Amino acid sequence: MDADRFTRRNAMKPAFAAALVALLIRSAFAQEVLDPDQAFRFSARALDPSTVEVTYLIAPGYYLYRDNFNVQLDGPSGAKLGEPRFPPGEMKKDPIFGEVEIYRDEVKIKLPVALPPGAKEVTLVAGSRGCTDTGICFLPEVRRLRISMTDFRENPPTSAWDRLNPPSQSSSPDLRPDADLWKALQRGGKRQDQR
């Protein structure tokens, strides 16, 4: 009888281990993860006739990789995008990528834009990639916006209300992916096309 009990007990160990692993995985995924649009609230607006400001409001417990931002112009023909100006981020030791620069809370990126004669708006395609502090990373996000370059305020909004409720000249993102930008983000996000 002791041999039978020993055999049954040893047979139950793998089943118990599998049940414990399943419970831990279920517990990890039970934590509510925000939709990327809520975790990384995105807007863009003209600061002046030749500068676009892209803003990401980042939820607590989430961050965006600096090297995975990618911005392109998709119109009008002849418009040129200058080198984006990023604020300094914070350094993070990433278990996969090593030492990386990230942004938390909020990041504002200024984009110099040269418009062809007569153009009054641009179509911006912006991509980013972020993760949670719990180790869940999102697929690259691509957003397309049309921005009026003639409708801007002299003073940018400073209150949290203004940032969460951008003025009418800010555009709401169109979430249709852009194939070229999607490929660039998958390669690391460092390419910037100028059209």
State how far the Cα of 165 lies from the Cα of 14, in Å rounded to an integer.
54
Of 1.10.1060.10, 2.60.40.1250, 3.10.310.30, 3.40.50.2300, the CATH number of 36-186 is: 2.60.40.1250
The pLDDT score that the predictor gives to residue 188 is 53
On the question of pLDDT at 162 being above 90, the answer is: no
Average pLDDT over residues 46-50: 93
Q: What percent of the chain has pLDDT over 70?
A: 62
State how far the Cα of 154 lies from the Cα of 111, in Å rounded to an integer.
17
pLDDT tens-place string over residues 66-98: 999 999 999 899 999 999 999 999 999 988 788
The pLDDT score that the predictor gives to residue 195 is 36
On the question of pLDDT at 168 being above 60, the answer is: no
Q: What is the mean pLDDT of the chain?
A: 75
Beta carbons within 10 angstroms of residue 76's beta carbon: 15
Domain boundaries defined on the chain: 36-186
> How far is the CA of 127 from the CAs of 48, 144, 168, in angstroms?
22, 9, 22
